Structure 1
């Protein structure tokens, strides 16, 4: 039986290896073609693929099993759950690859884009800048078509010049900035708040007005310290949870 082939990543030794591996494998699973094999390679094969120990690989697989993305069967192997729920925790730990993984595996519709004045609440991030380019998208579960979140990105104009609208229907903004535009990302600062769905969010996510949602703001900085992008994402409260990992060492 042919096994599913995950993507490769460059691991950051300053972050937990199991976490980076689990997020990379998660992105590969959620972004897989519909006709991809459901069987994963063995723990040993995956460990070699990612360049980690079998123990680290086992911990990464347990994370995905707990999330319901895979099932593990003694003697038979490890399999992708074909109907696995695509919702997942919003995590505030990781490399850029982990952020990309968090945003992957959904169908994205670009609702609109164009130049707008810098929103007052983000003026401090775009000092001396009059306009930014705004992108508005809705992401939906690939299997059910159910909307899971809607996002607005406010991107520095000179950076947005390198973005084609179709790019954002295929890839997360973080990947587009890094791999398409070619900017060097220094860091991403995340904030998550609990809020109630306003009329627009309720309509786009097909939830009752004042339903609980997770309001995420992500600020992406270049290596020179400039803000490249501010993302505002509203996640359905019944599809996502908030998770933070704190390392003791």
Structure 2
């Protein structure tokens, strides 16, 4: 039983182990995944994973099977939450870089610069701050735009084939680019309208995130009520901690309770994510 619980705890954490692209794994020894601004990121993430594994295994060995399984579940939930927050910050940083690049492109074309020259200027501006988060994927797209425009290629097709977190933003810019080319409309005005739409969507997301702060805080408080009940029981002399950590029915109740709390938080997060989807 102890061995099975140990494997369950480790599996819960390993299932959320951050997996990078092959290029990142190849450069793991140097802490560089080949992109600007990514140095040192893998070691920081691995430290949290190792700490979570140590917490789960330590609880299993020192306290007991039920405590080890519960600690593994909590550790997996915490790591999952941290990964989600990192993805949110990365998406926001990448959108900032996209908006900066589009602003330069529009400004250059507004004063009569050729689209290829405008894209090249935007790429040069992004290249001056390679360590900033979110710049690397945007720099790659803008550089490709400049190359296609200089060689007379299909810039719109290249933008619509961009993948990643901000593929929808580049797809909208590609539609505006193709519309301007096909119908002879001012490209700067169309691209500017797309930028304004992206800014409006971001402001809406920020307002929605602020409006949901109360609901998220309520969910966190409700998740902490069982812990408060256990502490009150200890203060009254009922010894709930000894029951929960003593194995048997108490251990089952501990694992079931922790699982329900984590599932409730995950479900709340899923509901709020649906609201946040533009």
Answer yes or no: same fold by TM over 0.5: no
Q: Which is richer in helix?
A: 2
Find the structure with the greater CA-based Rg: 2
TM range (shorter): under 0.3
Normalized against structure 2, the TM-score is what? 0.24
Normalized against structure 1, the TM-score is what? 0.25
Q: Which is richer in strand?
A: 1
